[in-house]
């Protein structure tokens, strides 16, 4: 197993189409590799994102010929780095799309994928109503990737509010759990740091949370502040409010140390709920 190792969160802006998204993401990826990162993490809908009123309408493509995915597979092969694409909009073939993330290995091959389980159906105010389920087909499978860097769990954005998912990933052996997101600014300002730190502390895992930053074309704003949180809850890196590369070093010995100090993963018990 490789450790410690240097990672980079690419804090990209929401872009209206594949070409604009690729232009920025590839530039940031090149800067990350030049800085010594061997594992790159991108946000949710990093292949493009815009809005139509309250609806998010990312550009959609088939998986087999998705331009963003294919370009980053080539990048990974050329630079011999691992890449976690937070998510792309993949055509589901039924009038909806799938919010699907991908792991790409250092040979440029797809090493796995994850379909977002929990969909963001919520009303924040009279004029802020989000119904992700109207356009997105949900997933239903927990995903942990085996890599030379350790075991990595994949979640996406709104999943962050469901601690049972993170517990299941940790119990399945995840050392690192990624949370790629396009978290909205109003809730991000209050909840983003707290929830990511809580998921790390509860499970003794690294949380790697690349988040898009800035205005969504035609509506809304994403929060940024891509985070790397260590297993004790310490924020190792925070991307702030500008697009860029967020670097951090992962040392899995910290996972072992945190779980030795508070071995709560060994203390889960079944219980009855009497109401």
Those residues with Cβ within 8 angstroms of residue 109's Cβ, 6 or more apart along the chain or in another chain: 73
Answer whether 43's CB lies under 8 Å from 74's CB.
no
Q: What are phi and psi of 200, to 5 degrees?
A: -65, -50
* Dist CA 82 CA 70 (whole Å): 14
* Dist CA 14 CA 10 (whole Å): 12
* Dist CA 85 CA 89 (whole Å): 11
Answer whether 204's CB lies under 8 Å from 265's CB.
yes
Answer whether 53's CB lies under 8 Å from 31's CB.
no
Identified catalytic residue from 9, 46, 157, 178:
157
Identified catalytic residue from 9, 50, 116, 236:
116
Active-site residue flag, 273: no
Identified catalytic residue from 9, 44, 46, 236:
44
Active-site residue flag, 116: yes
Active-site residue flag, 46: no
The DSSP-derived string for 23-63 is HHHHHHHHHHHHTT-SEEE--TTTT---EETTEE---EE-G
* Dist CA 167 CA 203 (whole Å): 6
Residues forming the active site = 44, 116, 157
């Amino acid at each position: 197993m490789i450790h410690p190792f240097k990672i980079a969160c690419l804090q990209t802006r929401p872009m209206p189409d594949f070409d604009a998204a690729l232009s920025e993401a590839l530039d940031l990826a090149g800067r990350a590799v030049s800085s010594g990162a061997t594992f790159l993490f991108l946000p949710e809908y990093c292949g493009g994102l815009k809005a139509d009123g309250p609806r998010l309408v990312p550009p959609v493509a088939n998986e087999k010929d998705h331009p963003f995915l294919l370009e980053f597979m080539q990048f990974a092969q050329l630079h011999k780095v691992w890449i976690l694409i937070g998510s792309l909009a993949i055509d589901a073939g039924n009038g909806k799309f799938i919010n699907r993330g991908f792991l790409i290995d250092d040979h440029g091959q797809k090493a796995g994928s994850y379909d977002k389980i929990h969909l963001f159906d919520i009303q924040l105010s009279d004029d802020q109503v989000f119904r992700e389920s109207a356009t997105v087909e949900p997933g239903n499978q927990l995903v942990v990737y085996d890599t030379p860097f350790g075991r990595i769990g994949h979640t996406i954005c709104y999943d962050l509010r469901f601690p049972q998912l993170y517990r299941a990933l940790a119990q399945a052996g995840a050392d690192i759990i990624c949370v790629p997101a396009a978290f909205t600014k109003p809730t991000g300002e209050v909840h983003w740091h707290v929830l990511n730190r809580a998921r790390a502390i509860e499970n003794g895992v690294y949380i790697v949370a690349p988040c898009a930053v800035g205005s969504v074309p035609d509506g809304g704003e994403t929060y940024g502040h891509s985070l790397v949180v260590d297993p004790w809850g310490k924020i190792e890196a925070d991307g702030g409010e500008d697009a860029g590369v967020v670097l951090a070093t992962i040392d899995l010995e910290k996972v072992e140390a945190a779980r030795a100090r508070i071995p709560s993963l060994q203390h889960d018990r079944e219980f009855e709920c009497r109401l």
